[in-house]
Amino acid sequence: MDTYLVGGAVRDALLGLPPGDRDWVVVGATPQQMLDAGFRPVGRDFPVFLHPHSGEEHALARTERKSGRGHRGFVVDADPSVTLEEDLQRRDFTINAIARDARGDLVDPYGGADDLQRRILRHVGPAFAEDPLRVLRAARFMARLAPLGFEVAPETMALMRQMAASGELDTLVPERVWQELRKALAAPRPSAFLATLHACGALAAVLPEVDALYGVPQRAEFHPEIDTGIHQQLVSDMAARLAPGDDLVGFAALTHDLGKARTPAHVLPRHIGHEHAGLKPLAALCERLKVPTEHRRLAEAVCREHLNVHRLAELRDATVLELLERCDAFRRPERVARIAIACEADKRGRLGQEEADYPQGPALRRLHAAAAAVNARDLPGGAHLAGPQVGQALRKARIAAIAAARSP
């Protein structure tokens, strides 16, 4: 029985990145031997065990054979005769097919260390095409590694185009698509995820509402980048910069402009009412991918209100209160800061506007704090108010608080 450190732990150490979870491959063992050694079984589709002391995952070396459509259509063989090289061969990218033995020496049969040096994301072999999920994984890795200078190998991109054209991506279950999307939105450069999928034709299969933005023109005086798809990439990257690792903000930023794909051709490059037009495609996307409720509600608020936040200084005090109420800001106060960040990402996600000031963000938080500080029990004559009178008095007091917070 030989044990090897594999995958992301080896890759990230060679890149000098902070260590994450460590995964191990065990060669030459049976499930019974693992149980006898005190390991706890956790694998459902193939033999994976937790170390009795460290709790780290140890998987038996295995091979996989395609048996049906989709990323689940595989037959797994975890026989003790499976070699380390055979196990590494089934992995997706060369940079993930590197192992380290007990002495600390690398086992690198597919040139992953060299591809790390050259900053290339390359598939290990032709079996890559058997799993459509790997197209999304390639894009998600680019969202993380593009800031380090990584590019997708031309032959890998060509294979991904073939996979997208085959229709195999239609077999992906919504939960797995959402999982990859969520990780990409929490990565340093989400635009690389979008650009990679768009370049290979896969974005239309998994996020058609976002793919539809590419090629849609905007007014150059407001959007020097013109193309709405490019604007969306810039906004997603700005959201990642302003709220690192926050996929809630990332999802709201990703979906804020979906309505622009629905603008009639004769109206372009103007997009009148796009904020409301975007709610329907947003709902379709959320239903299809089973997006969590809080992500959906925040995205709806940003989609519907981002233009109002941009012109916050022009809104009447009562209108500001109505905006906050539509966002459920008094029951979900943590939502306000994220709305402000997503709107700032929209404003600064434009060519030449990357360092622009966005006073609307602090103003929105300040006005919300002032209104939220008003409590019904502290209203003048509150003890004598009943029914609708309480709500009316509370609304009047909150409007007054917003007005006072706006005063110099």
User: Would you give per-residue pLDDT tens digits along the chain (408 residues)?
Assistant: 899 999 899 999 999 998 888 999 999 999 899 999 999 998 776 789 999 999 999 999 988 765 555 445 456 777 889 999 999 998 999 999 999 999 999 999 999 999 999 999 999 998 899 899 999 999 999 999 999 999 999 999 999 999 999 999 999 999 999 999 999 999 999 999 999 999 999 999 999 999 999 999 999 999 999 999 999 999 999 999 999 999 999 999 999 999 999 999 999 999 999 999 999 999 999 999 999 999 999 999 999 999 999 999 999 999 999 999 999 999 999 999 999 999 999 999 999 999 999 999 999 999 999 999 998 766 765 555 566 777 788 899 999 999 999 976
CATH code: domain 1-121 is 3.30.460.10
Q: What is the pLDDT of residue 19?
A: 80
Q: What is the pLDDT of residue 79?
A: 86
Task: Please state, in angstroms and as integers, the Cα–Cα distance from residue 289 to each residue in 140, 184, 208, 275, 354, following that order.
Answer: 17, 15, 12, 21, 31
Q: What is the pLDDT of residue 10?
A: 96
Q: Where in the chain is the domain with CATH 1.10.110.30?
A: 132-206
Give the span between the Cα atoms of 317 and 315, in whole angstroms.
Answer: 6
Query: Which residues neighbour 175 within 8 Å (Cβ) at sequence distance 6 or greater?
Result: 290
DSSP annotation of 227: B
Q: Is the pTM of this model over 0.85?
A: yes
Report the largest interatomic distance among the alpha carbons of the chain, rounded to a whole angstrom: 83
Tokens 């992906």 correspond to 172
Give the span between the Cα atoms of 108 and 10, in whole angstroms.
Answer: 11
Give the span between the Cα atoms of 130 and 344, in whole angstroms.
Answer: 41
Token pair in block for residue 188: 């340093």
Q: What is the pLDDT of residue 63?
A: 84
Q: What is the pLDDT of residue 386?
A: 60
Q: What is the pLDDT of residue 120?
A: 98
β-strand 99-100 against 106-107: which pairing, if any?
A: antiparallel
Give the span between the Cα atoms of 352 and 224, in whole angstroms.
Answer: 8
Burial of 103 (0-12, 13-18, 19+ CB in 10 A): exposed
- Cβ atoms of 255 and 179 closer than 8 Å: no
Q: Where in the chain is the domain with CATH 3.30.460.10?
A: 1-121
- CATH among 3.40.50.2300, 3.40.190.80, 3.90.1560.10, 1.10.110.30 for 132-206: 1.10.110.30
Q: What is the pLDDT of residue 180?
A: 97
Tokens 């006898």 correspond to 36
SS3 category, 278:
coil
Tokens 């460590």 correspond to 22
Rg of the chain, C-alpha, whole Å: 26
Q: What is the pLDDT of residue 72?
A: 52
Give the span between the Cα atoms of 392 and 344, in whole angstroms.
Answer: 32
Query: Which residues neighbour 343 within 8 Å (Cβ) at sequence distance 6 or greater?
Result: 302, 305, 306, 309, 310, 358, 360, 361, 364
Handedness of CA 346, 353, 209, 202 (dihedral sign): negative
- Cβ atoms of 98 and 107 closer than 8 Å: yes
